[in-house]
Amino acid sequence: MTTSPLAGKPAQPGMLVDVPRLITAYYTGVPDPEVPAQRVSFGTSGHRGSSLGLSFNEWHILAITQAICQYRARNAISGPLFLGIDTHALSVPALATALEVLAANGVDVMLAEGDEYTPTPVVSHAILGHNRGRPGALADGIVITPSHNPPHDGGLKYNPPKGGPAEAAVTGWIESRANALIEAGLDGVKRVPLERALRAATTHRHDYVGAYVGDLGNVIAMDAIRGARIRLGVDPLGGAGVHYWARIAERHGLDMTVVSEAVDPAFGFMTVDWDGQIRMDPSSPYAMERLVGMKDRFDLSFACDTDHDRHGIVTRSTGLMPPNHFLAVAIHQLFQSRPSWGREAAVGKTVVSSSMIDRVTARLGRRLHEVPVGFKWFVDGLLDGSLGFGGEESAGASFLRTDGTVWTTDKDGFIPCLLAAEITSRTGRDPGEIYRSLTDEFGEPFYDRVDAPATPGEKAALSGLSRVGIRPATLAGENVLAVLTRAPGNGAPIGGIKVVTQNGWFAARPSGTEDVYKIYAESFLGDPHLRRIIDEAQALVRETLAAGPAQDAGPHDASAAQEPDAGAVAAWRNEGDPN
């Protein structure tokens, strides 16, 4: 990946999206269902696209919302639907469109009081709050957001009554039905004018801010933060939580400064990301340049992305923490400070997250639950309490309330930020200092991700690779312990392959949005060893794709597939554990 010379610099006027043109295209553009890029497509987190590319237009929202109404009817989901939006330019018009369809279908909709923006975790919290203890009339939700995507994008995701991202079977049904409606020229879509939808008896107002902010003391030790009087800085990055942070500070008595409450649909206040795009990514040092530059003004500072389901932690000791570093610290501290969590509560991570998490988890004596990429894999565990924590390498996480019950089943950017403040308050050390102590005990991992071009056919082949397709004996000078195409935690396909050695690993999987494949890699033997892993991984993938598809031996054919050496993998995960 080549870093743009503009990375980390303020966005220039010529880079800003033409918002009137964007919104005009939303209403006037008509997608062609014969063009794959213009069809409804649910990825790991809903449908995303741009009106300028005919991939996120009014037709898409009309069709998707009608499909959701039909899904609700088929599955007897009769409670209210919590409807939230972020601050992207296309979110407000998309909300108006969705409301027109929901009202026409007689769905009880919960809109935010004062038309406030509504973060993803707040919608999840509201769904679960309504459904707690109810045998029927369950709620679900829609969040209109493309997450941290550039300003020209829009997005819509559906959260069923479990409160988190929908399973593939659900999104697949909605996607198929929505595309059928577009193919039929929207025949079958019910709709009423916006004015009538707003006045409908089924349209209600809900205090999202008060309900969420008032409940935070049940998931974070707010009294500890308040008592320590540490100075906190927060940058909402112009996102949906922009007006939440001041309420949090006021309600819980925190010494917190919101460095900017600017809301600009062009996001002209941002510094440019690594590739020259404006992207509200709190894990990117380029996008976080403004807050990182303020780090010495505060004891701790943090930011969230546009729908506030991702976090970025900035410490005085280390600056912006890589997401994997903070996930390890969060797990290390949470499982030692939540005595009401059951001993069976496990640690959830994705297959491309740092193996530092494996080592910390082993030291804590907890079970590791390793799943494919996508927060949907954590929903059931967070809901029933069998997972105490679920986190992704892309800075998304959630965890249980202090009493061991569910908080949210979607990613929550607020609570990792506040947990960082709790940790600092209780230990007298910031999370960067604590991570350094973890590397003293377990070793220091070096982690990277690289992208390589891939055709759609190559991406499909990589997604369907079997263990027979890649069977190396060694990787970067170490014996291979495991070759995985299914996640160890739940047996689900990982959509690629992961190769593990004693001190390193790589995983290769296709991008869901670009014609590239991604290689994630990590080494506990230093950066030169990491570069060797990446080089060999790229060569292995190229050779395998060039050879064509391999026959899958199936999950139970150990003679043809290289199965993990259980003892060796256990030793790899426990490395550095004195017990």
| 76 C-beta neighbours (distance < 10 Å), count | 9
Say if CB 564 and CB 482 are below 8 A apart: yes
Residue with tokens 């939230």: 84
Cα–Cα distance, 183 to 388 (Å, whole number): 44
Minimal CA–CA distance to 84: which of 45, 17, 142? 142
| CA–centroid distance for 459 within its chain | 22
Say if CB 353 and CB 489 are below 8 A apart: no
Q: For residues 551, 553, 555 and 561, what is the CA-based torsion angle, rounded to 10 degrees?
A: -110
Phi, psi of 123 (to 5 degrees): -65, -45
Q: How far is CA 483 from CA 328, 462, 469, 517, 520, in A?
A: 24, 14, 10, 18, 14
| CA–centroid distance for 21 within its chain | 29
Cα–Cα distance, 455 to 459 (Å, whole number): 6
| 365 C-beta neighbours (distance < 10 Å), count | 10
Say if CB 376 and CB 162 are below 8 A apart: no
Residues near 475 by beta carbon (within 8 Å), at least 6 away in sequence: 499, 501, 504, 506, 533, 536, 537
Question: In this structure, what token pair is assigned to residue 190?
Answer: 């019910």
Question: In this structure, what token pair is assigned to residue 211?
Answer: 């309900």
DSSP output for 144-198: E--TT--TTEEEEEEE-TTSSPPPHHHHHHHHHHHHHHHHTTTTT-----HHHHH
Cα–Cα distance, 371 to 167 (Å, whole number): 14
The helix, strand and coil proportions of the chain, stated in percent and rounded to the nearest 5, come to 40, 20, 40
Write out the catalytic residue numbers.
147
| 573 C-beta neighbours (distance < 10 Å), count | 18
Phi, psi of 97 (to 5 degrees): -60, -50
Q: For residues 208, 111, 380 and 167, what is the CA-based torsion angle, rounded to 10 degrees?
A: -150
Residues near 143 by beta carbon (within 8 Å), at least 6 away in sequence: 46, 84, 85, 86, 118, 120, 123, 156, 157, 159, 307
Q: How far is CA 51 from CA 20, 67, 88, 213, 538, in A?
A: 11, 20, 12, 34, 35
Q: How far is CA 473 from CA 253, 371, 551, in A?
A: 58, 24, 19
